[in-house]
Amino acid sequence: MIFRFENSPIMDRDDLMEILFYHLELSPLEKVLPILLEKTLERGWRAGVEVGSEEKAKDLDAILWTFNNESFLAHAIAGAKDDNEQPILITTDENNQNSANVRFFVAGKTPELKIDYAKDYERIVFMFDGHDPNIVEQARNVWRKLKDDNDLTYWQQDASGRWIKKA
């Protein structure tokens, strides 16, 4: 797999890093993220969810416990002794305490990928608010920065709420 990030040397891997961009317009993060986390766990993967602040981490923590009346997503906010055992770990730093296979960047956090940081992941997911022009421009800049050395896909919802791969 070829594995490169932002002008980094080629590593001994078969493929480029898979990075998915989710442009949130019809459905908010609170509705989309839990579904993607469920799919991550169904694959037998662990997830790291990186947010921009402790406040956002606490908000997301509450959402994951209550998003579905019939179930919940087992998770924790980073900082406990059992971080390494968590299937989903919410964090504000770049450490991979739970050996996650997928890294989600949400709630104001963007993937500033460095080779030593992202090498442990199968997939990177960047979710951004399509209603904030500043965040959309930030996402475009991240896309331009990462497009040459990674396998990027761009996902957007159609009028019925179905996710369509646009690029």
What are the residue ranges spanned by the domains of the chain? 18-159
- As a whole number, mean pLDDT of residues 83-104 equals 94
Q: pLDDT for 70-91, tens place per residue?
A: 878 899 999 999 999 999 999 9
pTM for the model? 0.86
Q: Is 150 helix (H, G, I), strand (E, B) or coil?
A: coil
Buried b (16+ CB within 10 A) or exposed e, 142-151: bbebbeebbe
Q: Tokens in use for 103?
A: 């890294």
Residue 92 sits at φ, ψ, to 5 deg, of: -110, 5
Q: In the prediction, which pLDDT does 77 show? A: 96
Instruction: Classify domain 18-159 at the CATH class level.
Output: alpha beta
Please report, for residues 9, 34, 37, 144, 166, the alpha-carbon distance to residue 137 in angstroms, rounded to integers and kept in the order given. 28, 25, 26, 11, 17
